[in-house]
Amino acid sequence: MAKPLRLVHYIYLTFAFSVIYTDAGTHRNFTYVCDPARYAQLGLDIKSLPFCDKKLSYDVRARDLVRQLTLHEKVRQLGNHAYGVPRLGIPEYEWWSEALHGLSNVGPGTFFDNSVPHATSYPTPILTTASFNESLWNTIGKAISTEARALYNLGHAGLTFWSPTINVARDPRWGRIIETPGEDPFVVGTYAMNYVRGLQDVEGTESNKYKDLNSRPLKVSACCKHFTAYDVDNWKGIERYNFDARVTEQDLVETFNRPFQMCVQNGDVSSVMCSYNRVNGIPACADHKLLKETIRQDWDLHGYIVADCDSVEVMIKDHKWLNVDNETAVSYTLQAGLDLDCGVYYTDNVENAVKHGKVREGDVDQSLQYLYVVLMRLGIFDGQPQYNSLGINDVCTSAHIELAGEAAREGIVLLKNDNGILPLATERNKTLAVVGPHANASVTMIGNYAFAAYNKGSPCRYSTPLNGFSSYGSVNYAAGCSNVKCVDGNLIGAAVEAAKIADATIIVAGIDLSIEAESLDRLDILLPGKQTDLINQVADAAKGPVVLVIMSAGGVDISFAKSNPKIHAILWAGYPGAEGGQAIADVIFGKYNPGGRLPLTWYQADYVDKIPLTSLQLRPDDSKGYPGRTYKFYDGPTVFPYGYGLSYTKFIYTLKAAPSKWSKKLNKFQHCRDLPYKNGTIKPSCPAILIDDLRCHKKFTFDIEVKNVGNRDGDEVVLIYSQPPLGILGTHIKQLIKFQRVSVAARTSKLVHFAINICQGLGIVDSNGNAVLPSGSHTIIVGDHQIVHPIQLTYN
Ligand SMILES: *[C@@H]1O[C@H](CO)[C@@H](O)[C@H](O)[C@H]1NC(C)=O
Ligand SMILES: *[C@@H]1O[C@H](CO)[C@@H](O)[C@H](O)[C@H]1NC(C)=O
Ligand SMILES: *[C@@H]1O[C@H](CO)[C@@H](O)[C@H](O)[C@H]1NC(C)=O
Ligand SMILES: *[C@@H]1O[C@H](CO)[C@@H](O)[C@H](O)[C@H]1NC(C)=O
Ligand SMILES: *[C@@H]1O[C@H](CO)[C@@H](O)[C@H](O)[C@H]1NC(C)=O
Ligand SMILES: *[C@@H]1O[C@H](CO)[C@@H](O)[C@H](O)[C@H]1NC(C)=O
């Protein structure tokens, strides 16, 4: 979102921010719109305004409000900055706030100043995802929405947050992996669902308990973005603003759209944002099939669809789509189902578009209806008394700061630990060489959509790696490079000297937003500049054990370190949030036993030569030499595979309960469908049935005993994959279908219960984009093949 690298937008944004400081902040002199005292003061008769009548449904009230507006008044509510309607006592509202991993100062709806200087900054989503702990994802969402309500009460935030980012990280080069929950669509969707529920749900009115989802109260409104097939930012001159994603229906259904579907259907999110790119020629924000048919009708969104900021302008000026002018562009996007424009194109152009007959006023009314219902569900019209008491004392609480630390500890992944060198012993006061360009990281740890330097505000506090290690020994610091680009080796000597005399050496290296960022994709997946030299020279010279910590979002080819016997241990810390430094030190010194798993495949460096970033194709393609993408379709060599992660203890799995077959008697509405098979495979007489036709509600049990056979307590992430019957062409190698993180005390065991819907667990998406359940011998694979269990499926 936002286009800060483009001067014209930068000016626009800067200007907007300065205006908004007064708009969103000091001007909000009311607690809720339909306060009778407020209307009395405005000299208006509230009794004559049905939209304030609490006895009516939100739908009816919103319709009444829209009915009362003139066309001119209507269009002034269609931008991220809604101007309000003074005549009817409707205040202005700024829709754009961000809460990707904590409240952010990016987006004019939320701002910080001396009275509200901080908010809690959690690890970036890519690291929090690595915890594979659904309840953690949900708990963070709840904590953030509590701070959001507090800031709203203080006049420092709106209640609509354009987070989370749930695009599938399909390629390691993409610059925005930091914002995502990784490469697996099911995990991304599961993260989205939990995080959105954490942000949105008011206790007791969760979506599975509530009858009328159009009136379900919201704590804050979340937004799943960016829809869809958006995974190119700026690569070899191709920018998201002119990128046309060519993508098959199969890949859309199976990979790119799946998290959005889960976000809408399982998370009941109240907003979806469309992306800048085109999808098969049509700008995503102008695509009727994607917005109205898929999100609105098929998935039944209860909420509004918003454009990524200035998408309408991008459509006209960058895509030059159909050479449309302003009025035609806004009429197309409105008709496609785009309700709210982040920008000024709707506000400035819709009125004339209606007057010139390019779009019906009814389309405008429909969009306003969706928008006002969301504001009503938030309590902006009637208040939400249960949150009234939240204020500055609910921001940066010790519980929230501790949760940020907990998330970092749970996410950190142990990648190498030769001879159990970690955890380092704590019994005496050690000298520690803490070196590398991230040894004193602070802002790097909070990544993007946190506290951008161009606005006020910062995390509650920072715990840098130096701070963290200082609690375990006396620290000798040498950066080794002046920044991650590490263009010259001048500073390496000092780091080497520090390592020579230290009892243990910790090298904190990696990349940052100068290498992988919004509007900045990577060209290679190596450590930049002389970082490799720094690490090898320090490791060579070190007196004690050497631990390498990598900060990055996308994978980095660190094969050299993996195979270097002088580098004894390696950790991946993502971008671990404001409490990251202490979390890293606590893991290295064994105060916390790591259990995180990589949410991405870490490819070898030559991967980038095999397939252009601009190809969205997931499946391998021999004719083009494409090797396939993500663990679902790529089975070549890796530096570390998806789901990889070590512990300081050892776990053993035993399968306790699982079915070995499932057969289904077909009724006359369930027709066999063909699937392509490899030559030489015996094709079943009934290869597959459409999942929509099967209506499978039945779940099968899959129970695993997880035994901790070591002498340390630890957390284990149990990953359950399914593999389709061998011989089916063009399907995935395997797919993750369930996961659970469990704590198991030393020398004890825990029974982990999974209930798996057979269609969700064993289904595949065929080449036409239909979800089907194939017959034949499926295989359930647990973790790294610790359990391999066949299930025979037959139709008769
Ligand atoms: C509240 O602020 C608005 C301007 O935003 C002003 O018109 C109105 O009179 C104020 N109301 C009160 C009660 O101060
Ligand atoms: C998962 O997260 C929750 C919420 O933060 C936490 O209480 C729990 O201990 C975590 N589970 C495991 C197994 O680490
Ligand atoms: C199109 O709309 C934009 C935004 O309102 C405006 O800046 C621009 O001047 C308009 N272009 C034309 C040709 O009217
Ligand atoms: C550890 O040793 C350093 C000097 O090597 C000293 O400054 C520091 O106070 C000692 N810390 C503790 C906790 O003993
Ligand atoms: C670490 O970075 C902070 C700024 O984030 C700076 O104030 C501090 O001096 C640095 N520490 C060292 C030892 O350089
Ligand atoms: C399978 O065999 C047929 C006929 O022998 C041949 O035309 C086809 O190309 C083969 N397909 C594959 C995938 O090898």
Quote the DSSP letter at residue 256. I
Q: What is the pLDDT of residues 283-302, one digit of tens each?
A: 999 999 999 999 999 999 99
Q: Which pLDDT score is estimated for 698?
A: 85
**C-alpha 326 to ligand 3 mean position (Å):** 6
Q: Whole-model pTM?
A: 0.96
Pairing of strands 224-227, 271-274: parallel
User: Any residues with CB less than 8 A from the CB of 425 and at least 6 apart, and which?
Assistant: none
Question: Taking the mean position of all CA atoms in its chain, how far away is CA 75?
Answer: 32
Q: What is the pLDDT of residues 350-374, one digit of tens each?
A: 999 999 999 999 999 999 999 999 9
Q: What is the sign, positive or negative, of the torsion defined by CA atoms of 165, 724, 720, 600?
A: negative
Which ligand lies nearest to the CA atom of residue 467 in the structure?
Answer: 5
Share of the chain residues as helix, strand and coil, in percent rounded to the nearest 5: 35, 20, 45
Cα 183 to Cα 171, 556, 598, 696: the distances in Å are 8, 15, 10, 27
Q: Which pLDDT score is estimated for 1?
A: 56
C-alpha–C-alpha distance, residues 611 and 62, integer Å: 50
Buried b (16+ CB within 10 A) or exposed e, 149-179: bbbbbbebbbbbbbbbbbbbbbbbbbbbbbb
- With beta carbons less than 8 A apart as the criterion, state whether 545 and 424 touch: yes
**C-alpha 429 to ligand 4 mean position (Å):** 6
Q: Which pLDDT score is estimated for 17?
A: 34
**Higher per-residue pLDDT: 108 or 8:** 108
Q: What is the pLDDT of residues 35-66, one digit of tens each?
A: 999 999 999 999 999 999 999 999 999 999 99
C-alpha–C-alpha distance, residues 533 and 358, integer Å: 62
How would DSSP label each residue in 322-358?
GG--HHHHHHHHHHHT--BBSSSHHHHHHHHHHHTTS
Residue 8 pLDDT > 60, yes or no? Answer: no
- With beta carbons less than 8 A apart as the criterion, state whether 579 and 432 touch: no
* For ligand 5, atom 14: residue with the closest CA: 440
- With beta carbons less than 8 A apart as the criterion, state whether 49 and 67 touch: no
Ligand 1 pocket, residues with Cβ under 6 angstroms: 27, 29, 41
Residue 303 pLDDT > 70, yes or no? Answer: yes
> Which domains, from first to last, does the chain contain?
7-392 (3.20.20.300), 414-608 (3.40.50.1700), 651-795 (2.60.40.10)
Q: Which pLDDT score is estimated for 28?
A: 75
Residue 756 parent element (H or E): strand 749-757
Which ligand lies nearest to the CA atom of residue 435 in the structure?
Answer: 5
* For ligand 4, atom 9: residue with the closest CA: 474
Residue 4 pLDDT > 90, yes or no? Answer: no
Residue 20 pLDDT > 60, yes or no? Answer: no
Residue 11 pLDDT > 50, yes or no? Answer: no
- With beta carbons less than 8 A apart as the criterion, state whether 352 and 77 touch: no
**C-alpha 410 to ligand 2 mean position (Å):** 8
**C-alpha 723 to ligand 3 mean position (Å):** 53
Omega into 753 within 30° of 0, i.e. cis? Answer: no
Q: Which pLDDT score is estimated for 262?
A: 98
- Average of per-residue pLDDT values in the chain: 95
**C-alpha 29 to ligand 1 mean position (Å):** 6
C-alpha–C-alpha distance, residues 193 and 209, integer Å: 16
Residue 623 pLDDT > 90, yes or no? Answer: yes
Q: Give Dmax (Cα) for the chain.
A: 83
- Half-sphere exposure at residue 262, Cβ-oriented, CA atoms within 13 angstroms: 24
Q: SS3 of 581, please?
A: helix
Enumerate helices (H) and strands (E) in the chain, giving the number of each.
25, 32
| % of residues, the chain, pLDDT over 90 | 94
CA-nearest of 70, 785, 173 to 521 is 173
- With beta carbons less than 8 A apart as the criterion, state whether 274 and 307 touch: yes
Confidence of residue 29 (pLDDT cuts 50, 70, 90): confident
- In the set 201, 251, 308, 557, the catalytic residue is 308
Which ligand lies nearest to the CA atom of residue 40 in the structure?
Answer: 1
Tokens 């803490």 label which residue?
A: 434
494 dihedral zone (left: phi>0; alpha: psi -120 to 50; beta): alpha
Which ligand lies nearest to the CA atom of residue 676 in the structure?
Answer: 6
Residue 768, exposed/middle/buried by CB under 10 A (0-12, 13-18, 19+)?
exposed
Q: Which pLDDT score is estimated for 14?
A: 32
End-to-end CA distance of the chain: give it in Å, rounded.
51
Q: Which pLDDT score is estimated for 266?
A: 97
Ligand 2 pocket, residues with Cβ under 6 angstroms: 133, 135-136, 139, 406, 410, 715, 741-743
Structure tokens at 496: 């080497």
Q: Which pLDDT score is estimated for 302?
A: 98
The 3-class SS string of 497-526 reads HHHHHCCEEEEEEECCCCCCECCECCCCCC
User: Any residues with CB less than 8 A from the CB of 158 and at least 6 apart, and which?
Assistant: 24, 93, 94, 95, 96, 97, 109, 110, 152
* For ligand 1, atom 5: residue with the closest CA: 27
Q: What is the pLDDT of residues 712-747, one digit of tens each?
A: 999 999 999 999 999 999 999 999 999 999 999 999
C-alpha–C-alpha distance, residues 421 and 696, integer Å: 49
Ligand 3 binding pocket mutation candidate from 75, 317, 349 (most atoms within 8 A of CB): 349
Tokens 């562009």 label which residue?
A: 329
User: Any residues with CB less than 8 A from the CB of 35 and at least 6 apart, and which?
Assistant: 383
Q: What is the sign, positive or negative, of the torsion defined by CA atoms of 285, 289, 292, 293?
A: negative
Q: What is the pLDDT of residues 535-584, one digit of tens each?
A: 999 999 999 999 999 999 999 999 999 999 999 999 999 999 999 999 99
Q: SS3 of 722, please?
A: strand
Provide mean pLDDT across the span 342-351: 98
- With beta carbons less than 8 A apart as the criterion, state whether 714 and 704 touch: no
Q: Which pLDDT score is estimated for 428?
A: 77
Q: Which atom of ligand 1 is nearest to the CA of 92?
A: 5
C-alpha–C-alpha distance, residues 783 and 653, integer Å: 9
Q: Which atom of ligand 1 is nearest to the CA of 27?
A: 5
- Half-sphere exposure at residue 445, Cβ-oriented, CA atoms within 13 angstroms: 34
Across the strands, what pairs with 739?
719
Residue 284, exposed/middle/buried by CB under 10 A (0-12, 13-18, 19+)?
buried
429 lines ligand 4 (CB under 6 A): yes
**C-alpha 482 to ligand 4 mean position (Å):** 28
Question: Taking the mean position of all CA atoms in its chain, how far away is CA 657?
Answer: 34
C-alpha–C-alpha distance, residues 392 and 397, integer Å: 9
Ligand 5 binding pocket mutation candidate from 434, 435, 440, 463 (most atoms within 8 A of CB): 440
Structure tokens at 562: 């993996």
Q: What is the pLDDT of residues 403-430, one digit of tens each?
A: 999 999 999 999 999 999 999 998 777 9
C-alpha–C-alpha distance, residues 744 and 736, integer Å: 22
Q: SS3 of 413, please?
A: strand
**C-alpha 676 to ligand 6 mean position (Å):** 11
Quote the DSSP letter at residue 55. T
Cα 225 to Cα 192, 244, 250, 264, 305: the distances in Å are 10, 18, 20, 11, 10
* For ligand 1, atom 10: residue with the closest CA: 29
* For ligand 4, atom 14: residue with the closest CA: 429
Q: What is the pLDDT of residues 131-185, one digit of tens each?
A: 999 999 999 999 999 999 999 999 999 999 999 999 999 999 999 999 999 999 9
C-alpha–C-alpha distance, residues 488 and 480, integer Å: 10
Q: Which atom of ligand 1 is nearest to the CA of 86?
A: 7
C-alpha–C-alpha distance, residues 757 and 735, integer Å: 14
- With beta carbons less than 8 A apart as the criterion, state whether 122 and 100 touch: no
Tokens 């004890």 label which residue?
A: 748
Residue 196 pLDDT > 80, yes or no? Answer: yes
- With beta carbons less than 8 A apart as the criterion, state whether 303 and 370 touch: yes
- With beta carbons less than 8 A apart as the criterion, state whether 567 and 535 touch: yes
Q: SS3 of 785, please?
A: coil
Q: Which pLDDT score is estimated for 27?
A: 54
- With beta carbons less than 8 A apart as the criterion, state whether 69 and 63 touch: no
442 lines ligand 5 (CB under 6 A): yes
Residue 19 pLDDT > 90, yes or no? Answer: no
Q: Which pLDDT score is estimated for 2?
A: 53
- Phi, psi dihedral angles at 122 (to 5 degrees): -85, 170
For residue 4, the tally of other CB atoms under 10 A from its CB is 15
Ligand 3 pocket, residues with Cβ under 6 angstroms: 326, 344-345, 348-349
Residue 298: active-site member: no
* For ligand 4, atom 3: residue with the closest CA: 474
CA-nearest of 771, 575, 781 to 690 is 771
